[in-house]
Amino acid sequence: MRIVLEISTSGPLIKALLDGQFDFIFARAPHDLQNGKLNARHIRAEQAIFLVRDKHPLLGNERCLSDAINYPWIMEPEGSLLRNRVESEFRNSNLPLPTKILSTSSLLINLAAIKQSDAIAVVSGAVLKVVGEKNGFQRLQLKGLDRDFLVPPFELIRHKERILSPLAEKLYQKMSDLC
């Protein structure tokens, strides 16, 4: 038995699942579930937040998305669901996309870049719970995006037609029960 914990954006994980590299994954499911080839079990909806260092110039006053446009941004790679969600907020606000964007799916790079700059990272709200405000990170609240900045939920996904080994099936059921 081999257990692999691979961290990536949903697109590459879905592709790897379809290619048979994984028995199941935690990811944001595509809308079409790959033409019925996948089973997905909803885990939970998730709120995205804007994470900055605790001395960021935008903290303290009421700000909106247009105030943040000239700062460096850290986002998931192009085409990811979270990145698409952020870019749609800029378009819906009739704003151009930021010109300074670091594209990464690495949380460690996100945190290091935030600590050393005035960058704004778009991350899951759970990240702030893990790193904590006492460690030099703060949530940047942007007017109009505070409460409803939801991203598609994570799901436990497996291929419908692939039979899992007994051990993989047992692990899948345990994960499913936890969801």
pLDDT tens for residues 123-153? Answer: 888 787 888 777 889 999 988 775 567 777 7
Q: How many CB atoms sit inside 10 A of residue 159's CB? A: 19
Residues 161 and 173 in one domain: yes
User: Residue 176, SS3?
Assistant: helix
Tell me what pLDDT residue 148 has. Answer: 61
- Could you give the number of structural domains in the chain? 2
The answer as to whether 3 is a domain residue is: no
Residue 6 above 90 pLDDT?
Answer: no
The answer as to whether 20 is a domain residue is: yes
Average pLDDT over residues 27-35: 72
Specify the higher pLDDT residue, 85 or 144.
85
Tell me what pLDDT residue 29 has. Answer: 78
Tell me what pLDDT residue 169 has. Answer: 94
pLDDT digits (tens, 9 = 90+) for 51-78: 999 999 999 888 999 999 999 999 999 9
Residues 52 and 135 in one domain: yes
Residue 7 above 90 pLDDT?
Answer: no
Tell me what pLDDT residue 73 has. Answer: 97
What rounded mean pLDDT belongs to the chain?
87
Tell me what pLDDT residue 69 has. Answer: 94
* 64-68, 102-106, 128-132, 166-170: least confident range: 128-132
Nearest to 31 by CA among 160, 155, 159: 155
Residues 160 and 105 in one domain: no
Average pLDDT over residues 147-170: 85
Q: How far apart, in Å, are the Cα atoms of 3 and each of 16, 22, 127?
A: 15, 9, 24
Give me the CATH number covering residue 50: 3.40.190.290
Burial class, 61, CB count within 10 angstroms (exposed 0-12 / middle 13-18 / buried 19+) = exposed
Residues 146 and 167 in one domain: no
Average pLDDT over residues 16-32: 87
The answer as to whether 1 is a domain residue is: no
Nearest to 72 by CA among 142, 123, 12, 119: 119
Range of the domain at 139: 46-151
Please state the length of the chain: 179
Tell me what pLDDT residue 47 has. Answer: 82
Tell me what pLDDT residue 65 has. Answer: 92
Residue 90 above 80 pLDDT?
Answer: yes
User: Residue 58, SS3?
Assistant: coil
Distance CA 2, CA 76 (A): 28
Has this prediction a pTM greater than 0.95? no
Residues 134 and 76 in one domain: yes
Residues 60 and 132 in one domain: yes
Residues 58 and 141 in one domain: yes
Nearest to 111 by CA among 128, 126, 89, 125: 128
